[in-house]
Amino acid sequence: MAKESGPRNRNHFGSSSKSRLEDEGFKDMDDGSICHRNPTAPFTRPENLMNNSSNIRNISFGTYPDDGVSPSPDEGIEEEKAPFEEERPGPVQIVRARESDCIFDLDIGALEKILLQDHLKDLNVVVVSVAGAFRKGKSFILDFMLRYMYNQVHDSWIGGEDEPLTGFKWRGGCERETTGIQVWSDVFVVEKPDGSKVAVLLVDTQGAFDSQSTIKDSATVFALSTMTSSVQVYNLSHNIQEDDLQHLQLFTEYGRLAMEETDSKPFQTLMFLIRDWSSPYEYNYGLEGGRAFLLKRLEVKNNQHAELQNVRKHIDSCFSNTSCFLLPHPGLKVSTNKDFDGRLKDIEEDFKTQLTELVPHLLAPDRLVEKMISGSKITCRDLVEYFKAYIKIYQGDELPHPKSMLQATAEANNLTAVAGAKDLYSRNMERVCGGDKPYMAPADLEHCHAAYCEDSVRYFCSIKKMGGKEFCQRYQDQLETELEEAYNAFSKHNEGKNIFYAARTPATLFVVMFFTYVVSGVTGFIGLSFFAALANLILGVALLVLCIWAYVKYSGEFREAGMLIDQLAEVLWEQVLKPLVENYMEDNVRQTVFNSIRASLTEQGSRPTRLKTD
């Protein structure tokens, strides 16, 4: 599955095979490959392509010629004729979105199969990713990168004029092609000038802003690719517009939220790849023109609006290195011919010339940028773990959901209206039951609440808001809920002004103390010493609790203890004392009414008797 660049790395049998052959009498052999591959990149041969109707193009290695040494028959060694088969390289989707809830899943098995091979897992990794809007040619560029990685030892790595471009699946048209995140199944092992070997992984991403993806989908894919890549190629068309920078700010901030806090810049290299550049008379094609153009675009000026300055400062704070490459249009045959299959003869010379500068700039051994996180180089094994950790964060609810500019503006607009209406309600309620106002009857307070609540809702509805009726109704419901919560707070504050409410706790404790004192005296008098002792104990506890409550109210310390005592007193009052008082009062009232009626009837019965006597 992995490829090792360089002509000396094609020997698949290793040194043990060489020793075996020397033992058999082949000591004068040249130290060449036992098994040779076609020098042309396998994916550049049209006869090796699979059916084009497949979702992902898999590349065949074909049949390799038997150029190795064949021992003579008289040596008694049987010649093996078994066919040489190897798994075909191709794009592998490692991140895909569920259709049901649009949550992204990581195909851990596929990723581990690619990166945890024995000869790869401990190598430092270079990850080159291409991201940007959909239908802007990201996969097209990546396939030229594949050609370079397979053929970089040749000066003509770009291929022949009649060779179709294959690899990551691409096509013309206006509908999206790539979904989720795909990686090339071959990880290329490259020897750097200092002698160290690194593993190079090429990554293709789903295009942003297509008709089937939300802002959250686009932000998640872009953020994941930026977080896991050492070089992020931001693929743009024609120019760097202000909305491109704003989207980059949104996506990188969404990625930075998921990463650990660090003093260093969170991401490494960002290249703005400007496709179809049409102003070479202002800025020349290539890196030099791109550098001058990027300096102009990202310049922070004193007379700029603060919003524009913040976008540019944010991008500078996120990436260690930024660059820009201006790439010309590939030609009308590329953009208008539905049968275009990537043959170089149909592509303009300017495009091919700049392409031979762009790809080596990214992938030449001396230009490779190894992936680093928090200042440490990352191996293929580490990259698998980081992918697992990052995807879990985006699957959860820890991060805020990014929104479109209209939705964010509508939310801010409605929240401002909610805040204004709530402030109006608070001012009105403060006038009738504020901190300096006396205690107010609960019924009157509730009446004021209903009137002021209606005024606040009317104020909310009178403000012009974005988002439509249904969208605004959610915020009106939120306003009404918050007004009810504010009313509960005002009601409790008003109750606190009631002197009888404030004295409930000490009154309750005094009643308990008086009752236990009487019980103690009576039980002690009749000889029930156990019950007298129990009553005295309760009396002492109630007295201690009363002292603690008084200290809390005086000093303001141990407020939790004071709240607990208030709750205990309230329970005693509501469950014991209040029912007893109500029953006692009810009995007294009933008895008083009965006595009054009986006295009245007695008086009426005695009146005729007095008349007769008279």
pLDDT in tens, 16-27: 333 333 443 433
Residues in the chain: 614
Q: How confident is the model over 545-597, as pLDDT tens digits?
A: 888 888 887 777 877 887 888 788 878 877 777 777 677 666 666 777 767 77
Listed in sequence order, the DSSP H helices in 364-441 are: 380-395, 405-433
Q: Are strands 104-106 and 91-97 parallel, antiparallel or unpaired?
A: antiparallel
Task: Give the whole-angstrom CA distance, residue 229 versus residue 220.
Answer: 14
Average of pLDDT values for 438-444?
85
| Amino acid sitting at position 511 | V
Residue 41 has pLDDT above 70, yes or no: no
- CA torsion angle 429 435 437 439 (round to 10): 90
Q: How many CB atoms lie within 10 A of CB 6?
A: 12
Question: Cα–Cα distances in Å, from 338 out to 234, 237, 479?
Answer: 26, 20, 55
Ramachandran sector of residue 526 (left: φ over 0; alpha: ψ -120 to 50; beta: rest): alpha
Q: How confident is the model at residue 606 (pLDDT cuts 50, 70, 90)?
A: low
Residue 10 has pLDDT above 90, yes or no: no
3-state secondary structure of 205: strand
For residue 604, what pLDDT is reported? 66
535-539 average pLDDT score: 86
Q: So what's the pLDDT on residue 113?
A: 94
The CA distance from 109 to 560, in Å, is: 54
Neighbour count for residue 550 (Cβ, 10 Å): 14
* Choice between 80 and 499, residue whose per-residue pLDDT is larger: 499
Tokens of 499: 């002197």
Three-state DSSP state, 504: helix
| Range in 50-54, 365-369, 470-474 the model is least confident about | 50-54
CA distances from 258 to 131, 209, 253, 285, 601 (A): 19, 22, 9, 36, 88
With cut-offs at 50, 70 and 90, classify the pLDDT of residue 609.
low
- Torsion angle in degrees (nearest 10) through CA of 307, 313, 316, 322: 50
**What would the pLDDT profile of 295-319 be if each residue is shown by its tens digit?**
999 999 888 898 889 889 989 999 9
Sign of CA dihedral 448, 454, 457, 463: negative
pLDDT classification of 497: cutoffs 50, 70, 90: confident
- Read off the pLDDT of each residue in 429-450 and give the average, rounded to a whole number: 87
Q: What are phi and psi of 44, to 5 degrees?
A: -90, 0
Is the separation of the CB atoms in 93 and 107 below 8 Å? yes
> Under a CB-based contact definition with an 8 Å cutoff, are residues 449 and 457 in contact?
no
Q: Mean pLDDT in the chain?
A: 78
**Six token digits for residue 571:** 């329970």
SS3 content of the chain, % helix, strand, coil (to 5): 55, 10, 35
Measured CA to CA, the distance from residue 425 to residue 414 in angstroms comes to 17
Determine the pLDDT at residue 369: 94
Q: Are 266 and 304 in contact (CB under 8 A)?
A: no
**Three-class SS of residue 92?**
strand
Element (H, E) at 549: helix 529-555
Residues 562-568: contacts with CB under 8 Å, at least 24 apart: 565/505, 566/504, 566/505
Q: Is the pLDDT of residue 69 over 60?
A: no
Confidence label for 6 from pLDDT (cuts 50, 70 and 90): very low
**253 has a pLDDT exceeding 60:** yes
8 Ramachandran zone, left/alpha/beta (phi>0; psi -120 to 50): alpha
Q: How far apart are CA 250 and CA 272, in angstroms?
A: 16
| Whole-number pLDDT of residue 561 | 81
CA distances (Å), origin 545, targets 84, 104, 121, 461, 508: 90, 58, 68, 52, 11
Most confident of 130-134, 387-391, 572-576, 606-610: 387-391
DSSP type of residue 576: I
Of 142, 321, 316, the C-alpha closest to 245 is 316
SS (H, E, C) 464-498: CCCCCHHHHHHHHHHHHHHHHHHHHHHHHHHHHCC
The region that residue 32 occupies, defined by phi over 0 for left and psi between -120 and 50 for alpha, beta otherwise, is beta
| Spatial distance between the Cα atoms of 518 and 532, rounded to a whole number of angstroms | 10
Round to whole Å and give the CA distance between 110 and 38: 28
Higher pLDDT, 579 or 70: 579
pLDDT at 434: 82
Identify the CA nearest to 131 among candidates 83, 29, 203, 63.
203
H or E element, residue 96: strand 91-97
What pLDDT digit, counting tens, does each position of 459-469 carry? Answer: 999 988 887 88
Q: What CA–CA distance (Å, rounded) separates 11 from 17?
A: 10
Torsional sign, CA 333, 336, 339, 340: positive
532, pLDDT greater than 90: no
In angstroms, rounded to a whole number, what is the distance separating the alpha carbons of residues 346 and 327?
16
